[in-house]
Amino acid sequence: GAGVSQSPRYKVAKRGQDVALRCDPISGHVSLFWYQQALGQGPEFLTYFQNEAQLDKSGLPSDRFFAERPEGSVSTLKIQRTQQEDSAVYLCASSLGRAWNTEAFFGQGTRLTVV
Amino acid sequence: KNQVEQSPQSLIILEGKNCTLQCNYTVSPFSNLRWYKQDTGRGPVSLTIMTFSENTKSNGRYTATLDADTKQSSLHITASQLSDSASYICVVSAYSSASKIIFGSGTRLSIRP
């Protein structure tokens, strides 16, 4: 596709429910990032993939958060047993090369509300 | 600790006026600094990217400066338009670590007619 696509755009989950957020990066992009953005704040790093390899997951806040990119393209961020503090916008970004020296393109995000 | 601090937190100016947004950072080892524009409900969109050796870069009415010695950057917007209303986020990357891509909290800019 022309850009990074995320789905769903909005998700309302009951506390304790599991959710799965999808990211379709730009075709051919090697690097993929997930970020969490609270209202009025900048994005906070969650995890990073280079192709199918998850090279850094140091930002995942708890073991309830899990991300995968099995074929090096589409990625899924899964949150188990959601809690109210998980409410945020989850942004996905992809870049052609390595994380620190190539342009990163962002999707529109998924707004998760846990009630 | 790697940090990116932006000021002001919010700014309101009249259409047609100029403004300057500030970014101070402590990220090390420094790789590059980027300014992003984020419209409400959208993902960030890149405006400029600068490496250590670059001290100014322009993109239309946006001009970014970088002083690597003082670890400061600014984003200057000329002849503001209503469509410039958005959050502007400063992002600093360190070499060798994907997690060391540090985002500032942004400056919320509002342009009034």
pLDDT digits (tens, 9 = 90+) for A10-32: 999 999 999 999 999 999 999 99
- What residues of A are in contact with residue B39 (Cβ under 8 Å)? none
pLDDT of residue A1: 52
Subunit contact A109:B43, Cβ cutoff 8 A: yes
Residue type, A112: L
CA distance A80 to chain B (A): 23
User: Quick one: pLDDT band at residue B98, thresholds 50, 70, 90?
Assistant: low
Q: How far apart are CA A79 and CA B42, in angstroms?
A: 22
Subunit contact B106:A45, Cβ cutoff 8 A: no
Q: Write the pLDDT tens digit of every residue in B14-48.
A: 999 999 999 999 988 888 999 999 999 899 999 99
Q: Following CA atoms B9, A36, A92, A82 in sequence, which dihedral angle do they give, to the nearest 10 degrees?
A: -150
CA distance B95 to chain A (A): 6
Cα distances (angstroms) measured from residue A15 to each of A18, A59, A81, A115, B44: 9, 22, 7, 6, 29
Task: State the count of interchain CB pairs (< 8 A) between A and B.
Answer: 67
Cβ(A97)–Cβ(B95) under 8 Å?
no
| Omega within 30 of 0 (cis) for the link into B8 | yes
Interchain CB contact of B44 with A (< 8 Å)? yes
- What's the 3-state SS for chain A? CCCCEEECCEEEECCCCCEEEEEECCCCCCEEEEEEECCCCCCEEEEEEECCEEEECCCCCCCCEEEECCCCCCEEEEECCCCHHHCEEEEEEEECCCCCCCCEEECCCEEEEEC
Host H or E run for residue B65 = strand B62-67
Which residue, chain included where needed, has tokens 């790789």? B31
Hey, how many other C-beta atoms are within 10 angstroms of the C-beta on B70? Answer: 8
SS3 breakdown of chain B: % helix, strand, coil, rounded to 5? 5, 60, 40
The chain A residues in contact with chain B (CB within 8 A) are 4, 31, 33, 35, 40-45, 48, 55-56, 58-59, 91, 93, 99-101, 103-109
* CA A53, A42, A78, A59 torsion-angle sign: positive
pLDDT of residue A100: 64
Closest listed residue to residue B2, CA positions, set B23, B22, B28, B41 = B28
- What residues of B are in contact with residue A33 (Cβ under 8 Å)? 98, 101
Subunit contact A56:B49, Cβ cutoff 8 A: no
Q: Tell me the average pLDDT across B78-104.
A: 89
Subunit contact A106:B43, Cβ cutoff 8 A: yes
Task: Indicate whether B59 pLDDT > 70.
Answer: yes
Q: How far apart are CA A43 and CA A45, in angstroms?
A: 7
